[in-house]
Amino acid sequence: MSEAVFQETTAEPRTQSVPLAHLSLELGHLYMEDFEAGPGRLREHFAEVRIWVDAARASVARRGKRPRISTCFLIDDYFSRFSTPAELIPMVLKEAEKAGLVIDYLARESACAVADRVELAESVMHRLVESPPPGSYGSRPSVSQTGWLANGQRTPTASRSALGQVKGWEPPRETAARNHSVFMDVELWSEKDGRRLWSCPFLAAVWQLARLGLLRHLGEPVLVPADWNGGDFPQDWDRLPPLTRLTGSAAAPFSAYRTCTLMPNRFLAVEDAVRLILDQTDVDAGALRQVAERSAREGMAVPAAVAQRATYVFYEEPGDSFEAEGA
Q: Which of 70, 123, 110 lies closest to 258, judged by CA?
A: 70
21 forms bridges with which residues in the sheet?
256
Write down the pLDDT at residue 66. Answer: 82
Rounded Cα distance between 310 and 319, Å, is: 27
The angle formed by the CA atoms of residues 107, 33 and 248, to the nearest 5 degrees, is 20
Instruction: Say how many Å lie between the first and final Cα of the chain, rounded.
Output: 79
Going from the C-alpha of 15 to that of each of 23, 25, 239, the distances in angstroms are 22, 25, 29
Nearest to 122 by CA among 155, 96, 147: 147
CA distances from 312 to 100, 222, 258, 307 (A): 21, 24, 11, 11
pLDDT along the chain (327 residues), means of 10: 47 79 93 85 93 89 82 93 91 95 96 95 94 60 86 73 66 84 92 91 98 95 92 94 94 96 92 96 95 92 95 80 41
**pLDDT at residue 161, rounded to an integer:** 56
The pLDDT of residue 173? 82
Task: Say how far apart CA 109 and CA 115 lie, in whole Å.
Answer: 10
The rounded distance, in Å, linking the Cα atoms of 101 and 97 is: 5
pLDDT for residue 5: 47
What is residue 326's predicted lDDT score, i.e. its pLDDT?
41
Instruction: Output the CA–CA distances (angstroms, integers) from residue 221 to 19, 120, 136, 139, in the order listed.
Output: 10, 11, 37, 37
CA pair distance 279, 269, nearest whole angstrom = 16
201-211 residues labelled b (16+ CB within 10 A) or e (exposed): bbbbbbbbbbb
Please tell me what DSSP assigns to residue 113: T
CB-CB contact of 100 with 48 (8 Å): no
pLDDT at 140: 66
DSSP-based three-state secondary structure for 80: coil
- Judge if pTM exceeds 0.75: yes
